[in-house]
Amino acid sequence: MKETLSKKVIVSLVTLSLLLLLTAPALAATANERITSSVHVVRDMSKEEDVGAMADLVKSAKGVVIVPNYVKAAFGIGGARGEGLILRRDPATNTWFGPGFLSVTGASIGLQIGVQSTALLLVVTNQKGMDRFYGDKFKLGADIDIAAGPVGRSAGAATDVNLQASIYSYSINKGLFAGLSLSGAMMTTDHDINATYWGTSINSFCPLRLKGNFPYNPLTKAFLS
């Protein structure tokens, strides 16, 4: 029963919040697509049997990053790129803010052989991790610690028993859900999409910093129930 509720909590992250963001006026098509695709990513992950550990982390997270399509580059290049969004959680009020839009580029070494693309979900567990998203760009594993996310029915099943990483990353591709190492990948603020979505008068990750000043409050209490 608890595992089922955890999965429902994850679905609430998107279905009761990101869909609400689609009502924003002057929404760029690319932002719209990212939000819609993020809905599908979280729904797909919530159906997996081993998602309980991720659900436990998300419920106390500082933030969540969703990249619907992390694509492996052409043969011989060995890189990958994806575009996504980030939401920030205020632990004092259990309120979520965002989205901020971003891109991720890096080596495709974490992708399994034969896999050309995958969806990513990153759980930001502490303030040190969130602070990195307030700048223009940073490198995972170099500027901030990251680890493949634990899988299983609860976070207690993690190989990293102390769960000390600032960010945990997950992937899903064709029904295969797993933790994925993204060490070495670069996170970059998508200034153009942020400006279009939120307006040119605000800074890139202002929606992640401020409390209560934006009309599209992303998440609901159901996410943390």
Q: pLDDT tens, 92-104? A: 877 778 888 999 9
pLDDT score of 219: 34
Instruction: State the greatest distance between any 2 C-alpha atoms of the chain, in Å, as a whole number.
Output: 48
Burial track 9-38 (b if 16+ CB lie within 10 A, e otherwise): bbbbbbbebbebbeebeebbeebeebbebb
Close Cβ partners of 105 (under 8 Å, ≥ 6 residues apart): 79, 80, 81, 82, 185, 186, 188
Full residue range of the structural domain in which residue 120 is found: 2-224
**pLDDT number for residue 56:** 87
Dihedral pair phi/psi, residue 16, rounded to 5°: -100, 5
In the structure, what pLDDT confidence band is assigned to residue 50 with cuts at 50, 70 and 90? confident
User: What pLDDT does 42 receive?
Assistant: 82
Number of domain units in the chain: 1
Residues 134/115, Cβ–Cβ less than 8 Å:
no
pLDDT band at residue 9 using 50, 70 and 90 as cut-offs: low
- Please give the pLDDT value at position 118: 86
> How would you write 134-185 as a 3-class SS string?
CCCEEEECCCECEEECCCCCCHHHCCCCCCCCCEEEEEEECCEEEECCCCCC
Of 17-26, 34-43, 59-68, give the range with the top mean pLDDT: 59-68
How far apart, in whole angstroms, are the C-alpha atoms of residue 175 and residue 83? 21
Distance of alpha carbon 21 from alpha carbon 143, whole angstroms: 30
- The pLDDT value recorded for residue 121 is 93
> How many helices (H) does the chain have, and how many strands (E)?
7, 9
The residue with greater pLDDT, 130 or 22, is 130
Taken as a whole, the chain contains a residue count of 225
**Token pair of 161, please?**
């028993």
**Would you call 48 helix, strand, or coil by DSSP?**
coil
pLDDT confidence of residue 218: 38
Percent of the chain with pLDDT over 90: 23
Tell me, what's the pLDDT at 64?
92
Mean pLDDT of the 46-67 span: 87
Within 10 A of 196 (CB to CB), how many other CB atoms are there?
17
Ramachandran sector of residue 178 (left: φ over 0; alpha: ψ -120 to 50; beta: rest): beta
Mean pLDDT of all residues in the chain?
74
